[in-house]
Amino acid sequence: MSLQVQFDGNGYPAVGYIEGGVAVFSAAIPTGSKENSVKADAVVPNREEEQGATRWVPWGPGNDFPIQVYKDIKQNGIASRALKLKVDMLYGRRLVPCRVVDFDPNAGKEVVELVNDPDILDFLNRSNINEFRNRTIHDFAYLGQAFPILHLNQDRSKIAMVDHDKAMKFRYAPFDKGKKRIDEIFRSANWPSPTDEQLDKFKCIDSFHYYLEVDRVRLEKEYRYVFPIRCYDIVNDYYSLAVWNSVRESEWLANSNSIPKIIKSIIKNSMTIKYHIRIPLSYWKGLYPDWDRMKPEARTKVVNDKLQEINDFLTGVDNPMKSFISHYATDPMTGKEVAGWQIEALEDKMKYDAWNKVSTAASAEILFAIGINPAIFGLGTPGGELKSGGSDIRESWLTMIASAQGERDTIYSWWPFVREYNGYPSDVELRTIDQVLTTLDQGKGTSKTLS
């Protein structure tokens, strides 16, 4: 015998029976309480954001904003390393499910206990959670947003796993005026203009109103959804701008990227002559009595051979600190000195120090924008010298961790939705274990904190 069930348009079992049995069942369609029937909506985003929108809303003027960010960052060592450090800080040491059970007023800390729920641990393992969050944090740090994918199981009773794909592959569909929200998201690795064969489509969850979205998703038939996470943007409704993007807009990043090219150009195009050798014409006539009758090519060879001899004498690692003796004559009629050989050292006109100061100031601006205290990289006052002590580095790192909770809450904002949909205990949180630097007088170099 087997169970035969028919579902209604919302996914609820409406009627069913057992083959060979004598009973038929029907189910009432749940209407939900007044609290659960609340719906949140939004207004159409401003026209500037939707400029150029077709099936999707372009990400940047050329629909290639992530690529432009990548091109700028990969040229800049300080920005690349600073963003990686930001990722490492947000990643912490480990992610654990836990619950807050008390608060210690003396230590000023919450008291938490780890949760060893097999279903939760299975979900995290199935999601390859460490690799997932490493990739997601990279997207968030570089672009200010990420697009976790939630996969439902076969009967849609649970979210089986959370998955990752690169943020640069996603584009929002235009705001749905009927549903009063962004309802779909497209995915492709071939922006800015993918073909239909290169395009994938997902249903989009309103991540801010996640609690209300749980009931909606339960009534639908889709098996995968995108749960967008993004840093808060006071203007944009589609693609948020990461805070550090200000150094791209102000062109500090471009200035920093230009400096190595400027110095390279100076070196390539400037004269590298260190000495000016003044040789009187009488020298050649005295050395070669038939100088005036020599062919031009013969004179050129004589001069080149002599200059090579002088150059070898004055330069090279095997010829340091040599003395040079020159002779001069006097005019027998006037007694005045006749011009002799002169070797003059030329001043270096390249002025590298000026460009180094500009580079240091640009580096500081980039670090500040990303949220990295320049002291961590040994950078002191912008435009000044590179100098920093161990205590500066330690306190800067602790300050970064202390200010990270808001971003971490955003990065893991998909978890409360999963927790509610899957029926996990409502007090279970995902917390990051941090490894922090300590002073040597504490007897160890690092300690662990949970945040």
Q: Which of 113-127, 217-231, 307-321, 360-374 has the lowest mean pLDDT?
A: 307-321
User: Burial, 171: exposed, middle or buried (Cβ in 10 Å; 0-12, 13-18, 19+)?
Assistant: buried
Tell me, yes or no, whether 30 lies in a domain.
no
Residues 447, 404: Cα–Cα separation, whole Å: 18
Domain identity same for 130 and 211: yes
Tell me, yes or no, whether 17 lies in a domain.
no
Tell me, yes or no, whether 112 lies in a domain.
yes
Domain identity same for 246 and 208: yes
The pLDDT value recorded for residue 309 is 82
Tell me, yes or no, whether 218 lies in a domain.
yes
Tell me, yes or no, whether 149 lies in a domain.
yes
Whole-angstrom CA distances from 389 to 258, 380, 444 are 30, 10, 18
113 and 99 Cβ atoms separated by less than 8 Å = yes
The pLDDT value recorded for residue 215 is 92
Domain identity same for 60 and 118: yes
Domain identity same for 99 and 232: yes
Tell me, yes or no, whether 377 lies in a domain.
no
Query: What percent of the chain shows pLDDT beyond 70?
Result: 75
136 and 444 Cβ atoms separated by less than 8 Å = no
pLDDT tens, residue by residue, 379-396: 655 444 545 556 777 888
449 and 110 Cβ atoms separated by less than 8 Å = no
Domain identity same for 407 and 328: no
pLDDT tens, residue by residue, 46-91: 888 888 899 999 999 999 999 999 999 999 999 999 999 999 999 9
The pLDDT value recorded for residue 384 is 47
Domain identity same for 243 and 325: no
Our count of domains for the chain comes to: 2
75 and 257 Cβ atoms separated by less than 8 Å = yes
User: Burial, 64: exposed, middle or buried (Cβ in 10 Å; 0-12, 13-18, 19+)?
Assistant: middle
Residue 33 above 60 pLDDT?
A: no
Report the run of H or E that residue 26 belongs to, with start and end.
Answer: strand 24-26
63 and 186 Cβ atoms separated by less than 8 Å = no
Question: Exposure string (b/e) for 218-233, b if CB count within 10 Å is 16 or more?
Answer: eeeeeeebbbbbbbee
Domain identity same for 217 and 310: no
pLDDT tens, residue by residue, 160-206: 999 999 999 999 999 999 999 999 999 999 999 999 999 999 999 99
Phi, psi of 149 (to 5 degrees): -110, 125
pLDDT tens, residue by residue, 219-242: 999 999 999 999 999 999 999 999
Whole-angstrom CA distances from 311 to 34, 273, 314, 348 are 94, 11, 5, 18
Domain identity same for 119 and 221: yes
Tell me, yes or no, whether 427 lies in a domain.
yes
Residue 77, SS3 per DSSP: helix
Residue 120 above 80 pLDDT?
A: yes
Tell me, yes or no, whether 444 lies in a domain.
yes
Domain identity same for 412 and 304: no
Peptide bond into 332 cis (omega under 30): no
Domain identity same for 121 and 252: yes
The pLDDT value recorded for residue 149 is 98
Identify the DSSP state of 245: G
Domain boundary among 288, 312, 345: 345
Domain identity same for 402 and 302: no
Q: Domain residues for 339?
A: 271-345
Residues 124, 132: Cα–Cα separation, whole Å: 10
Domain identity same for 141 and 238: yes
